[in-house]
C-alpha cells in the first residue's frame, strides 16, 4: 500500500480487510483500511491504493474512532475538492477519494483526532477474466502499486508495511465448482453455502464456496483466485432495473467458439520489455512465455521479428524474417540470453519503432510483453490508436499485451490491447503454466477481423431528435446577441467615408468560450461504442443502458467474415441477482456507466455531431458527459469524486 508523504503527516496502516462476493462473472469488493494517528495533534494525510483498471468505485465511507459512520457523496471533481478543503478549514473531519489513473486512486483524510483510529471503507465492482482452461475464470485483487517510469500524477512512496491482511471471498456458481486455487497465496477453503444464508440447507452444496486468507506480510503482491465450473463460458445476458432511474442495464458475456481459416500471410512482432522493472522472476516468466509463443506460430506464410526495449529499442534482425527452423533456433537462443538491463520503460517510443518498421503488404500482430510500469498511458494509447488507424484494410495492425508480474499496471496493459483491437492476458511470476492464456492470444491474432458487428439489444430504437430544446447548457451563458426572429435590414455603405481611419484597429474584448450544451442521453448507450472485432476463445463483455424500464427477452449479436459469411448468436435475457452493498450504485449500472465513460475517454463517441469544429469545446463536452454519468450513477471517474464530511 502506497502512502503519500507530501501532506501534513503520515498515517500508519494497521490492517486491510477485503471481502468479495463473486457471482454471475462479476465481483463486488469491499475494502476496509484501518489507520491510526499516532501524534498528539490533528492530522491530514493522503495515501494511494490500487484497483483493477476494469473496476468501478461505487461507494465510499469513513468510520471515526467513536464509531460514527459518514457515507460519501459523488460530486464533480473540482466541487468535491472544494467541499473537502472547506470542511477542513471549518474544523470538520473529511475524506476525499479521487481517481488519479483508472488503476490508481488517492484518498485524502483530514482532521483526524490525536490518537484516533479511523477506518476508510471503499466498495468497487469488477468483472472476472478468463484463466488457463476452458470454463475457468480469474479474480484479481491488487494490493500494491509497482514503481513506474515517468512522472506520477500524485507523489507517493512505498514504505515497508507490517499491516495485517484479511481476505474473505464468497463464490457462487450456476454449476458445481470443479476447482478453486490461488497461484499467488496459500488459502483456506470452505465448501458449501454460508450457513447464515436464508434456506442454506436447501441450496446446492457444490455451487458455493468460501476462500479465506490471513497474513501479516503479504501486502507486497496481488491476490489472484481462480475458479473452474461447467458453463462459465456459456453465453449469458443479465438485466438490472435501476431502483429510481427509469433505466435498465444489460450485460452480455460471450466466449466465442467458431472456427475460421487462419490469415494466410501475417507478420508477428514480439516487443519485449527488458527495462529494470522486469528483473528477477518477471524476466524469467517472460523467457518462458516468449519461447512458447515463438513455437506456436503458423508454420506457413509467417514473418516474425523480436524487438527489445527499455530506454532504447533494438531489433533482432534488420527486418522480419521468414519463420523456419533456422530462424526459430536463432530467435530462441536470443531469448535465452535476455536480461532486464535496458533502463527505463519507454513503451511509446518502442511501439512507434515497431509500427514504423512493419511490413505493409500483409496484416501485422504486435505482441507486447511487459509489466506496463510507466505513467504515460495517455500518450501510449494515442500512439497505438494512430498506428491502427493509419493501416489499410488488407494490411491491418493489431496490438496484444501479455502483462507480466504481480502489480502489473492494468490500465496500461488493458488500454493498449483495447485501442489496438487486440487481447490482454495477465500472468503472475508464481504461475507454473500459462500455455492456455497464450493459446487464446495466438488464436485471436491468427483469426481474420470480422466486419459489420452489431448488437440488437431487443429494444425499439426511436430516431434520435436533433432538437435544440433537448440540449442542456452546463457551462457558460447562452448567447443573447442572436435574434433569430429578425431579418437584417439592408443598409447603404459609402465607398469613401472620411470618418473611417484604416490604420485604427477595432479592439474588441476576447469572447468567452462557447457554453457546453450536452445532448440528451441516447435511448441506447452501448459499450464498446463500436465493436471492432470478435476474438475466438476470448471473453467479450458488452454493456448497455436503455432509457426505459422494459427488459428485453433476448439480445442478438451479429457479425460477418470478409467473405460474407454471417455469424449470429441469440442470447436470452435473465434478471440479475447480483448483490448490492447498501446505498451503493447497482452493480450492472455502475459497470456499464464505467465502460461508457471509458469509451468517451478513448474518443469513441458521437458527440462530434453535436459540437462545432472546436477541439476545446469538444473536450469540455466530453468531460461534462463523463461528469453527468458519474453523478447520475454515483461512481468515481476522471471527472467525479467521492467526498465525506463529518460535521457532527
pLDDT tens digits along 165-181:
899 999 999 999 999 99
Other CB atoms within 10 Å distance of the CB of residue 506: 4
Task: Quickly state the pLDDT bin for 461 (edges 50, 70, 90).
Answer: low
CA 88/CA 85 separation, integer angstroms: 5
Q: Which distant-in-sequence residues (6+ apart) come within 8 Å of 184 by Cβ?
A: 221, 222, 223, 224, 406, 428, 430
Task: Quickly state the pLDDT bin for 218 (edges 50, 70, 90).
Answer: low
Nearest residue to 640 via CA among 584, 581, 575, 594: 594
Compute the average pLDDT of residues 448-473: 71
pLDDT at 127: 96
Is 3.40.50.410 the CATH number for 266-446? yes
pLDDT at 147: 67
SS (H, E, C) 562-588: CCCCEEEEEEEEEECCCCCCCCCCCHH
Mean pLDDT score of the chain, rounded to an integer?
A: 89
Please state the domain extents for the chain: 2-233, 236-256+453-464+519-632, 266-446
**Which of 636 and 480 is assigned the larger pLDDT?**
636
pLDDT at 4: 36
Task: Quickly state the pLDDT bin for 1 (edges 50, 70, 90).
Answer: very low
Nearest residue to 70 via CA among 46, 47, 95: 95
Q: What is the pTM of this model?
A: 0.89
Quick check: 213 and 187 in contact, CB under 8 A? Answer: yes
Quick check: 399 and 391 in contact, CB under 8 A? Answer: no
**Which of 492 and 368 is assigned the larger pLDDT?**
368
Q: In this predicted structure, which of 117-121, 219-223, 293-297, 489-493 has the lowest mean pLDDT?
A: 489-493
pLDDT at 579: 75
pLDDT at 644: 97
Compute the average pLDDT of residues 279-291: 95
Counting beta carbons within 10 angstroms of the beta carbon of residue 89, is it exposed (0 to 12), middle (13 to 18) or buried (19 or more)?
exposed
According to DSSP, the residues that pair with 76 across neighbouring strands are 640
Residue 473 has pLDDT above 70, yes or no: no
pLDDT at 470: 57
Residue 211 has pLDDT above 50, yes or no: yes
Q: In this structure, what DSSP letter does residue 498 have?
A: T
pLDDT at 474: 65
pLDDT at 32: 95
- Establish how many alpha carbons lie within 13 A of residue 103's alpha carbon, considering only the half-sphere containing its beta carbon: 25
pLDDT at 407: 84
CA 570/CA 277 separation, integer angstroms: 45
With cell 469613401, the residue in question is 496
pLDDT at 459: 87
pLDDT tens sequence across 130-159: 898 999 999 999 988 776 666 667 665 554
**Which of 477 and 626 is assigned the larger pLDDT?**
626
Nearest residue to 449 via CA among 415, 481, 422: 422
pLDDT at 399: 98
Residue 309 has pLDDT above 60, yes or no: yes
Residue 534 has pLDDT above 90, yes or no: no
Q: Which distant-in-sequence residues (6+ apart) come within 8 Å of 11 by Cβ?
A: 3, 35, 36, 37, 43, 45, 47, 109, 112, 118
| Fold of the domain spanning 2-233 | Immunoglobulin-like (2.60.40)
Q: In this predicted structure, which of 105-119, 288-302, 506-520 has the lowest mean pLDDT?
A: 506-520
pLDDT at 480: 45
Task: Quickly state the pLDDT bin for 6 (edges 50, 70, 90).
Answer: very low
Q: Which distant-in-sequence residues (6+ apart) come within 8 Å of 168 by Cβ?
A: 18, 19, 20, 210, 211, 212
pLDDT at 379: 97
With cell 448567447, the residue in question is 479
pLDDT tens sequence across 550-600: 999 999 999 888 778 888 999 999 999 887 777 788 999 999 999 999 999
Compute the average pLDDT of residues 288-310: 96
Amino acid at each position: 500500500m502506497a502512502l503519500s508523504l507530501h501532506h501534513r503527516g503520515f498515517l500508519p496502516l494497521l490492517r486491510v480487510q477485503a471481502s468479495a462476493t463473486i457471482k454471475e462473472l462479476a465481483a463486488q469488493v469491499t475494502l476496509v483500511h484501518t489507520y491510526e494517528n499516532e501524534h498528539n495533534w490533528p492530522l491530514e494525510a493522503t495515501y494511494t491504493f490500487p484497483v483493477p483498471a476494469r473496476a468501478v468505485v461505487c461507494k465510499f465511507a469513513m468510520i471515526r474512532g467513536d464509531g460514527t459512520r459518514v457515507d460519501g457523496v459523488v460530486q464533480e471533481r473540482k466541487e468535491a475538492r472544494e467541499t473537502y478543503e472547506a470542511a477542513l478549514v471549518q474544523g470538520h473531519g473529511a475524506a476525499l477519494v479521487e481517481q488519479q489513473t483508472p488503476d490508481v486512486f488517492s484518498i485524502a483524510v483530514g482532521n483526524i483526532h490525536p490518537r484516533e483510529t479511523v477506518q476508510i471503507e471503499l466498495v468497487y465492482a469488477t468483472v472476472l477474466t478468463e484463466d488457463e482452461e476452458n470454463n475457468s475464470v480469474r479474480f484479481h485483487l491488487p494490493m500494491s502499486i509497482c514503481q513506474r517510469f515517468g512522472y506520477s500524477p500524485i507523489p507517493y512512496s512505498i514504505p515497508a508495511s507490517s499491516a495485517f491482511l484479511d481476505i474473505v471471498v464468497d463464490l457462487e456458481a450456476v454449476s458445481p465448482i470443479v476447482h478453486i486455487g490461488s497461484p499467488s497465496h496459500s488459502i483456506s477453503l470452505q465448501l458449501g453455502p454460508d450457513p447464515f444464508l436464508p434456506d442454506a440447507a436447501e441450496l446446492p452444496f457444490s455451487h458455493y464456496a468460501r476462500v479465506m486468507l490471513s497474513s501479516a506480510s503479504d501486502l507486497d503482491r496481488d491476490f489472484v483466485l481462480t475458479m473452474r465450473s461447467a458453463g462459465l463460458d456459456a453465453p449469458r445476458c443479465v438485466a438490472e432495473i435501476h431502483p429510481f432511474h427509469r433505466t435498465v442495464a444489460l450485460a452480455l458475456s460471450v466466449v466465442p467458439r467458431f472456427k475460421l481459416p487462419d490469415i494466410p500471410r501475417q507478420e508477428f512482432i514480439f516487443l519485449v520489455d527488458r527495462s529494470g522493472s522486469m528483473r528477477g522472476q518477471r524476466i524469467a516468466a517472460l523467457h518462458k512465455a516468449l519461447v512458447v509463443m515463438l513455437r506456436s506460430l503458423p508454420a506457413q506464410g509467417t514473418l516474425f521479428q523480436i524487438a527489445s526495449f527499455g530506454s532504447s529499442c533494438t531489433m533482432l534482425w534488420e527486418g522480419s524474417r521468414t519463420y523456419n527452423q533456422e530462424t526459430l533456433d536463432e530467435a530462441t537462443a536470443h531469448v535465452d540470453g535476455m536480461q532486464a538491463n535496458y533502463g527505463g520503460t519507454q513503451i511509446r517510443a518502442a511501439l512507434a519503432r515497431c509500427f514504423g518498421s512493419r511490413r505493409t503488404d500483409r496484416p501485422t500482430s504486435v505482441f507486447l510483453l511487459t509489466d506496463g510500469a510507466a505513467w504515460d498511458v495517455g500518450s501510449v494509447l494515442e500512439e497505438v490508436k494512430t498506428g491502427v488507424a493509419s493501416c489499410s484494410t488488407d494490411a491491418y495492425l493489431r496490438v496484444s499485451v501479455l502483462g507480466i508480474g504481480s502489480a502489473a499496471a492494468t490500465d496500461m496493459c488493458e488500454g493498449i490491447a483495447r485501442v489496438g483491437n487486440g487481447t490482454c492476458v495477465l500472468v503472475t511470476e508464481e504461475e507454473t503454466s500459462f500455455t492456455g492464456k497464450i493459446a487464446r492470444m495466438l488464436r485471436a491474432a491468427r483469426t481474420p477481423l470480422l466486419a459489420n458487428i452489431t448488437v440488437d439489444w431487443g429494444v425499439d430504437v426511436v430516431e434520435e431528435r436533433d432538437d435544440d430544446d433537448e440540449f442542456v447548457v452546463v457551462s457558460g451563458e447562452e448567447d443573447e446577441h442572436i435574434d433569430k426572429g429578425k431579418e437584417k435590414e439592408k443598409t447603404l455603405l459609402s465607398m469613401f467615408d472620411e470618418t473611417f481611419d484604416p490604420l485604427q484597429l477595432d479592439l474588441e474584448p476576447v469572447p468567452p468560450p462557447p457554453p457546453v450544451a450536452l445532448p440528451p442521453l441516447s435511448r441506447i448507450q452501448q459499450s464498446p461504442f463500436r465493436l471492432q472485432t470478435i476474438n475466438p476463445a476470448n471473453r467479450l463483455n458488452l454493456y448497455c443502458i436503455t432509457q426505459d424500464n422494459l427488459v428485453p427477452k433476448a439480445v442478438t449479436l451479429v457479425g460477418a467474415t470478409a467473405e460474407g459469411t454471417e455469424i449470429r448468436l441469440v442470447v436470452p435475457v435473465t434478471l440479475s441477482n447480483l448483490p448490492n452493498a447498501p446505498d451503493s450504485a447497482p452493480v450492472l449500472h455502475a459497470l456499464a456507466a464505467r465502460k461508457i465513460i471509458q469509451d468517451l475517454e478513448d474518443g469513441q463517441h458521437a458527440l462530434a455531431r453535436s459540437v462545432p469544429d472546436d477541439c476545446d469545446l469538444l473536450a469540455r463536452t466530453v468531460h461534462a458527459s463523463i461528469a453527468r454519468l458519474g453523478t447520475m450513477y454515483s461512481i468515481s471517474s476522471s471527472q467525479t469524486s467521492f467526498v465525506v464530511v463529518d460535521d457532527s
